[in-house]
């Protein structure tokens, strides 16, 4: 057994049994392809490397063979590798990924030139309607060339998707590995949320005491991030509203930021929420807001008094703005005792469709334990990674939406 099998599917199986052709060209970013291949494999993919001669001068084929378990294709032979992998065959690849892609290779693809293993694979894949993703990497002056921009648009008109580049330090750098992998999943993974418009609200609110001090709730944003990534991967048109949190936001999903309850209410009032089919609010929203002091309260006082007032509830505001959307809320409790009953009472009170009950044990963790309750007081108890729980939540929300709209 090749050692790469030890990591296959260790994150999840979103790319299980998917064949990804990873094409590498002569950019210095070729050194990133080891990490990229490993991440694809951790999601269950089988990766087949293809390299140009210029790429071989930067990264040795043995490195990619070690990283994928498959010998890189560096020249075409009588085995007609480009047709075997990317032709109109029953056992062909699921996706062709060119990362990194140089200006030279990009322009050749746009012109239909097939004079290297990579450009020949690309020409065959486009002709066979296999999904193609290009992640460009080059100096910014090359990326800004008007002819190159024309070639990017020509590629897009042929259905080729582009990831990045990131413009940093005078360079058009290869997109983040996470962004590339997520878009591979988006293009070849399960698409049962395609056509749905989904809003996820996450993170915590920050309520000012004075110009310096704040009151907030503990929130890492892990649950919200897991939810928004799952919706995106399954083909939904996804929007993310995010407050305060430590989790890195997915750069490939549109995001609107808020700080306070007041900010969040303003977002609700300014947005046409009727466009969304499913709205999930898992934000850690302050139940109370302080009466704000002017300036900064002087340090050194033995005691200070802070007066709190009840904050406006967000779920009723969301329900008022979008009566027909499937609305999912979260109810956090300190203990398990009575958690389902409390969650159901909150569900009825705020007229939402699904309530997710959980305890403080899951705050900031990668795993959680949840109870999912619907309007008929049916309950489902689940434990596991937050990504897996997010998938289950959307399975149920999508089922409710389809039932309502039939």
Let me know whether 237 and 357 are in one domain. Answer: yes
* pLDDT greater than 80 at residue 17: yes
Let me know whether 184 and 202 are in one domain. Answer: no
* pLDDT greater than 90 at residue 229: yes
The pair of structure tokens assigned to 389 is: 């729980």
CA distances from 326 to 176, 279, 376, 393, 402 (A): 33, 6, 15, 12, 10
Whole-number Å distance between alpha carbons of 219 and 230: 19
pLDDT per position as a tens digit, 138-192: 999 999 999 999 999 999 999 999 998 999 998 999 999 999 999 999 999 888 8
* pLDDT greater than 90 at residue 299: no
Averaged pLDDT for residues 313-336: 92
* pLDDT greater than 80 at residue 406: no
pLDDT per position as a tens digit, 51-108: 999 999 999 999 999 999 999 999 999 999 999 999 998 889 999 999 999 999 999 9
Q: Which residues of 354-375 are buried (b: 16+ CB within 10 A; e: fewer)?
A: bbbbbbeebbeeeebbbbbbbe
Let me know whether 129 and 235 are in one domain. Answer: no
Where is the domain boundary, 145, 168, 188? 188
pLDDT at 248: 82
* pLDDT greater than 80 at residue 268: yes
* pLDDT greater than 90 at residue 379: no
Tell me if 211 sits within 8 A of 296, measured CB to CB. Answer: yes
Whole-number Å distance between alpha carbons of 306 and 360: 25
pLDDT at 329: 95
pLDDT at 174: 97
Averaged pLDDT for residues 327-350: 91
pLDDT per position as a tens digit, 133-149: 999 999 999 999 999 99
Number of domain units in the chain = 2
The pair of structure tokens assigned to 24 is: 């590498």
Let me know whether 275 and 390 are in one domain. Answer: yes
* pLDDT greater than 80 at residue 277: yes
> Where residue 28 sits, what CATH number does that domain have?
3.40.50.1950
Averaged pLDDT for residues 2-21: 92
pLDDT at 7: 93
Whole-number Å distance between alpha carbons of 113 and 115: 6
Let me know whether 384 and 347 are in one domain. Answer: yes
Let me know whether 307 and 165 are in one domain. Answer: no
pLDDT at 246: 80
The pair of structure tokens assigned to 10 is: 């260790």
Helix (H, G, I), strand (E, B) or coil at 311: coil
pLDDT per position as a tens digit, 200-225: 999 999 999 888 888 888 888 999 99
* Residues in Cβ contact with 142 at an 8 Å cutoff, skipping those fewer than 6 apart: 103, 148, 172
Averaged pLDDT for residues 238-258: 90
pLDDT at 1: 81
Q: Give the residue carrying structure tokens 């210095």.
A: 28
The pair of structure tokens assigned to 82 is: 């480009």
Mean pLDDT (the chain) is 93
Whole-number Å distance between alpha carbons of 239 and 278: 11
Helix (H, G, I), strand (E, B) or coil at 18: coil
Let me know whether 215 and 182 are in one domain. Answer: no
Tell me if 355 sits within 8 A of 330, measured CB to CB. Answer: yes
* pLDDT greater than 90 at residue 252: no
Q: How many CA atoms, within 13 angstroms, populate the side-chain half-sphere of residue 278?
A: 30
Q: Could you tell me the pTM of the whole model?
A: 0.85
Let me know whether 206 and 176 are in one domain. Answer: no
pLDDT per position as a tens digit, 115-127: 999 999 999 999 9
pLDDT at 215: 87
The DSSP secondary structure of 205-257, one letter per residue, reads -EEESSSS-EEE-----HHHHHHHHHHHHTT-EEEEEE-B-SSPPPTTS-EEE
The pair of structure tokens assigned to 373 is: 């309750």
> Where residue 329 sits, what CATH number does that domain have?
3.40.50.10300
Where is the domain boundary, 188, 218, 252? 188
pLDDT band of residue 371 (cuts 50, 70, 90) is very high
- Domain residues for the domain of 122 are 3-188
Let me know whether 184 and 224 are in one domain. Answer: no
The residue that leads in pLDDT, 292 or 406, is: 292
Let me know whether 282 and 176 are in one domain. Answer: no
Where is the domain boundary, 166, 188, 210? 188
pLDDT at 104: 97
Let me know whether 145 and 268 are in one domain. Answer: no
Let me know whether 177 and 247 are in one domain. Answer: no
* pLDDT greater than 80 at residue 300: no
């Amino acid at each position: 057994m090749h050692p790469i099998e030890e990591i296959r599917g260790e994150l999840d199986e979103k790319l299980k049994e998917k064949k990804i052709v990873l094409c590498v060209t002569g950019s210095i970013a070729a050194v990133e392809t080891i990490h990229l291949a490993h991440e694809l494999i951790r999601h269950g993919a089988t990766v087949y490397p293809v390299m140009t001669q210029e790429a071989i001068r930067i990264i040795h084929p043995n490195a990619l063979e070690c990283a994928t378990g498959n010998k890189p294709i560096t020249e075409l032979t009588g085995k007609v590798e480009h047709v075997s992998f990317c032709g109109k065959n029953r056992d062909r690849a699921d996706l062709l990924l060119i990362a990194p892609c140089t200006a030279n290779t990009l322009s050749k693809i746009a012109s239909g030139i097939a004079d290297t293993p990579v450009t020949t694979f690309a020409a065959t894949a486009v002709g066979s309607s296999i999904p193609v993703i290009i992640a460009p990497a080059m100096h910014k002056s090359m990326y800004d060339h008007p002819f190159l921009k024309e070639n990017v648009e020509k590629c897009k008109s042929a259905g080729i998707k582009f990831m990045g580049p990131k413009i940093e330090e005078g360079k058009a750098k290869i997109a983040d590995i996470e962004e590339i992998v997520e878009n591979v999943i988006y293009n070849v993974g399960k698409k049962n949320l395609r056509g749905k418009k989904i809003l996820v609200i996450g993170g915590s609110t920050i309520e000012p005491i004075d110009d310096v001090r704040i009151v907030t709730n503990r929130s890492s944003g892990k649950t919200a991030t897991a939810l928004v990534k799952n919706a995106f991967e399954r083909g939904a048109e996804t929007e993310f509203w995010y407050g305060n949190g430590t989790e890195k936001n997915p750069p490939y999903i549109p995001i609107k930021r808020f700080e306070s309850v007041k900010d969040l209410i303003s977002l609700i009032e300014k947005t046409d929420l009727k466009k969304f089919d499913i709205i999930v609010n898992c934000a850690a929203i302050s139940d109370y807001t302080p009466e704000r002091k002017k300036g900064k309260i002087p340090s050194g006082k033995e005691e200070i008094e802070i007066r709190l007032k009840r904050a406006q509830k967000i779920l009723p505001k969301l329900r008022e703005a979008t009566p027909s959307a499937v609305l999912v809320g979260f109810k956090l409790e300190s203990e398990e005792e009575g958690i389902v009953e409390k969650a159901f009472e909150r569900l009825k009170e705020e007229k939402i469709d699904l309530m997710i009950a959980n305890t403080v044990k899951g705050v900031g963790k990668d795993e959680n334990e949840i109870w999912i309750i619907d309007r008929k007081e049916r309950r489902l108890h689940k434990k596991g990674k937050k990504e897996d729980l997010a998938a289950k939540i959307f399975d149920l929300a999508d089922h409710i939406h389809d039932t309502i709209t039939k």
